[in-house]
A and B are shown apart, each in its own frame.
Chain A
Amino acid sequence: MSKILEVKNLRTTFFTHLGEVQAVRGISFDLDEGGILGIVGESGSGKSVTSLSIMGLVDEPGKIVEGEIFFQGTDLTKLDHKDMMQFRGNEISMIFQDPMTSINPAFTIGNQLREVIMAHSDLNKDQAHERALELLKMVGIPDPESRIKNFPYQFSGGMRQRALIAMAIANNPKLLIADEPTTALDVTIQAQILELMRDLKDKINSSVILITHDLGVISEICDKVIVMYGGMIMEKADIKNLFAHPQHPYTRGLLLSIPTNVTGKKKRLIPIEGSPPDLMDPPSGCPFSPRCPHAMEICLKKAAPLFKISETQEASCWLHHQDAPEVSGMVKVEGEQS
């Protein structure tokens, strides 16, 4: 399968007056054409900064300090502002975590949609209006002819999210990045939006990166997943293996700490002890080491490379090393690692 996006050793840092925040610490991943890649991780693990880096939207005091981001062969990190604008909103578009940052409360929904459409096409105002109606219909806004004249405050949270999706797909982007598109919504509305995204992906045939901290959402719609922690990638896997055979202690911990309820009996939850790292002063080795029940000496000194478990799964954990002690369920890997 060909790759639409390849991120190589991306490192993004914020140079604040309190010190350097190493938000993304050398991550590499790629996205298959037509795929839905999930990024999960806890608050502050670097998910949003990763997507802002791809979009070329990391602002002062932040900076991509290392790495490459290839979008269909073009290294986005090398583009100047003007060229990047051409990609953004056209080939690549994003649904932001905070809907109010991308909707202007002072303009009608129709106005904003037309704007987005006309910025990247030759359509005139009337054609753009037609296209806007078509988009609103596509994202399931009832009675688009009258709703198009509404201001954002006249929309409910779920409708606003649909409007945002409509804007993001207006120009049939090849890559759509959705940062927590359903987190602020109720579960019944979330189910509608996820259904919509599944549906749209097929219709407009784009590739999607979906960021969330909800493993349930990941399992609903993604085919591959990246698990982030402390600015690094802990595990990459296809969705089946991630849930059935997690190969990183953090992923395992996450899966164990959510209630399962298959038995209906009250089982005690198994938490991950401790709390996430401070990115101003991250642990020098594996970012998970202060909380990891299996931490070894090497873990405190050096972060593990990504060990290739199978064609579809990689994990950054020393337990996969030949010389590591046996831990049940953890696969040993031979040879060179990436």
Chain B
Amino acid sequence: MSDRIPLLEVRNLKKHFISGILKKRKVLTAVDGIDFVIYKGETFGLVGESGCGKTTIGRTIIRLYNPTDGEILFDGEEIGHLSERELKPYRKRMQMIFQDPYASLNSRMTVTDIIAEGIDTHHLLEGDAKQERIYELLEKVGLKREHASRYPHEFSGGQRQRIGIARALAVNPELIICDEPISALDVSIQAQVVNMLEDLQDEFGLTYLFIAHDLSMVRHISDRIGVMYLGKMMEITTADELYENALHPYTKSLLSAIPIPDPTSSIRDRRVILKGDVGSPINPKPGCRFASRCQYAKPNCFTETPELREIKEGHFASCHYIEEINGI
């Protein structure tokens, strides 16, 4: 494990969205002090409920948003505060596949134009060589040469997601941020796209940040997983450890809520049904973000924010009572 080389390191990353002024000022703490590392060649899964800040993290890493605070280290270089010009070489090394295959492709551009955009921006190839490269990419993602001159609306959701993947691959990136690449797809298509992502990873040695809320698919694809709740990281560990020995009360209830496609499963009887609703990320008070729904919460959980700590080797969690709850 010690020979792993970090490709991306995020330290105390914050992204706040501010609206209103004076007394009406609202601070939406979409991402509120997150730390994690992604090693070269691995897939890091990021899970959590809607609105917990997953997409915002992805967008901040590739600097579609400027971070409010914290550092983003890519291959050892701090890129969170670089100017657009200084960023350009990094833009080639990091790409993102977007959540919605229907909205993320420009409907007035042909497939060739869409894929060529990055190649042109970075002056990678021209003329016939460029067109050849586009054909090659289309074939890589399971589409055909003939598709190159068509428009996005002529494709199904799964095919559009493939176009998005071809676009990301076009500039030979090292890190690809996959933001829910399969959630808009039919079950019967999801496996096609996941297999393809795995094949491409093997072939090109890619590193993935894989954002999702389908927990069984995340387990399948990830080496390590981070679990978020309302802008905070609750737990990070390897995929198997997370599913077999989750330590954090939130992770436990999240895992136990997954509907199991097996009517003989006995998990239902052991299920922890959470009470209450997810809180609001606007002007949050100090304390554990999960406290309002946590069955173990004690008074100080509502006032003191727990830090992410290494509980066992490579297994991090942020909860004041993790040892007590798990009998460690």
Residues of A at the B interface (CB closer than 8 Å) are: 42-43, 142, 156-159, 186-192, 194-195, 213-220, 239-240, 243-244, 250, 253-255, 257-259, 261, 264, 266, 268-273, 275-276, 291
Contacts and interface: CB of A to CB of B under 8 A. Distances in A.
B273 A215 contact: no
Contacts of B265: 219
A262 B217 CA distance: 13
Given A42-B186, A187-B213, A213-B186, 7 more contacts: A42-B187, A187-B257, A189-B49, A240-B263, A243-B261, A272-B191, A275-B189
B186 A43 contact: yes
B195 A259 contact: no
Contacts of A192: 273-274
Interface string B222-265: 00000000000000000010011000000001101111111111
A216 B220 contact: no
A105 B91 CA distance: 43
Given A259-B216, A264-B244, A275-B159, A254 B254 contact: no
Interface centre among B256, B261, B273, B274 (most CB of A within 10 A): B261
A190 B278 contact: no
Contacts of A239: 263
Nearest to B259: A216
A310 B225 CA distance: 44
Nearest to B250: A188
Contact of B263 (A189, A214, A219): A219
Given A159-B277, A192-B273, A259-B219, A213 B187 contact: yes
A42 to B, nearest CB: 4
A284 B293 CA distance: 53
B259 A195 contact: no
Interface residues of B, number: 44
Nearest to A253: B188
B190 interface: yes
Given A188-B274, A192-B274, A264-B240, A257 B187 contact: yes
B268 interface: yes
A271 B191 contact: yes
Contacts of A159: 277
Contacts of B49: 186-189
Contact of B261 (A190, A191, A216): A216
Interface string B275-294: 01110000000000000000
B188 A269 contact: no
B220 A243 contact: no
Contact of B192 (A213, A216, A273): A273
Contact of B262 (A214, A243, A257): A243
A186 B191 CA distance: 21
Interface of A is mostly: helix
Contacts of B264: 240, 243-244
A314 to B, nearest CB: 18
Contacts of A259: 216-217, 219-220
Contacts of A272: 188-189, 191-192
Nearest to A216: B259
A253 B187 CA distance: 10
A269 B195 contact: yes
Interface of B: 49-50, 156-159, 186-192, 194-195, 198, 213, 215-217, 219-220, 240, 243-244, 253-254, 256-265, 268, 271, 273-274, 276-278
13 contacts: A187-B254, A187-B259, A219-B259, A219-B261, A243-B261, A257-B190, A258-B261, A266-B220, A270-B191, A271-B189, A271-B190, A272-B191, A272-B192
Contact of B257 (A42, A191, A269): A191
B258 A187 contact: yes
Nearest to A212: B259
A250 B188 CA distance: 9
A257 B188 contact: yes
A303 to B, nearest CB: 19
A250 to B, nearest CB: 8
Contact of A271 (B192, B268, B278): B192
Contacts of A258: 187, 191, 216, 261
Contact of B188 (A195, A219, A268, A276): A276
A214 B253 CA distance: 19
Nearest to A185: B50
Contacts of A269: 191, 194-195, 220
A240 B194 CA distance: 28
A244 B213 CA distance: 27
B191 A216 contact: no
Contacts of B159: 275
A223 B201 CA distance: 41
A54 to B, nearest CB: 24
Nearest to A250: B188
A254 B188 contact: yes
A261 B260 contact: no
Contacts of A158: 277
Across chains A and B, which 7 residue pairs bring their CB atoms closest together, nearest first? A216-B259, A271-B191, A259-B220, A191-B257, A269-B191, A257-B191, A186-B49
Contact of A264 (B156, B243, B253, B271): B243
Contact of A255 (B258, B261, B268, B276): B261
A188 B157 CA distance: 27
Contacts of A243: 261-264
B273 A195 contact: yes
